[in-house]
């Protein structure tokens, strides 16, 4: 519950500063481009993960390979 209150407080503070046209004065946004790039990288990784997960589920459903065998082979060092 405290996390939600903190997030709501942050969002309210940002909205207030946007409304008062003071966002750039009160928030340091110079790192925003780097944050944006990292966020896009995270989204790309998540999409790949979920696509791979769906492909493995479909493939396992058509074969006799167990999911545990796939995990073991993926975790083996190169």
Please say if the pLDDT value at position 78 is more than 50: no
pTM for the model stands at: 0.42
SS (H, E, C) 2-65: HHHHHHHHHHHHHHHHHHCCCHHHHCCCCCHHHHHHHHHHHHHHHHHHHHHHHHHHHHHHHCCC
Cα Dmax for the chain: 62
User: Is the same domain home to 20 and 52?
Assistant: no
77 and 58 fall within a common domain: yes
| pLDDT tens-digit series, residues 41-68 | 888 888 888 888 888 777 777 766 565 5
Q: Are residues 77 and 66 in the same domain?
A: yes
Range of the domain at 4: 1-28
Verify that 73 and 51 share a domain, yes or no.
yes
Q: Is the pLDDT of residue 36 over 60?
A: yes
CA 35 – CA 42 distance, rounded (Å): 10
35 and 71: one domain? yes
């Amino acid at each position: 519950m405290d996390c939600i209150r903190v997030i709501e407080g942050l969002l309210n503070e940002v909205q207030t500063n946007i409304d008062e046209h003071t966002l750039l004065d009160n928030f340091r946004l110079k790192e925003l481009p780097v944050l944006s790039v990292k966020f896009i990288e995270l989204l790309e990784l998540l999409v790949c993960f979920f696509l791979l997960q769906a492909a493995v589920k479909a493939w396992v459903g058509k074969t006799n390979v167990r999911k545990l065998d796939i995990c073991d082979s993926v975790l083996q060092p190169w």
